[in-house]
Structure 1
Amino acid sequence: MADEMRGLIERGEYERVLELGKAAVLENRLGPDVVQALYGMTAKLRSKCMDLATKKADSGPVYQGLEAILITANELTGEDMYGCRECHL
Structure 2
Amino acid sequence: MICSAHAADDLVLQTVTGRVTAVLGKDQIMARLGGDEFAILMPGPIDPAAASKLAESILEALNAKSDSLGANHRINEHRYRALSRRRL
Is the pair's TM-score, using the shorter chain for normalization, greater than 0.5? no
Structure richer in helix, relative to its length: 1
TM-score by length of 2: 0.35
The structure whose residues are more often strand, as a share, is: 2
When the two structures are superposed, what TM-score results if normalisation uses the length of structure 1?
0.35
Over alpha carbons, which structure has the higher Rg? 2
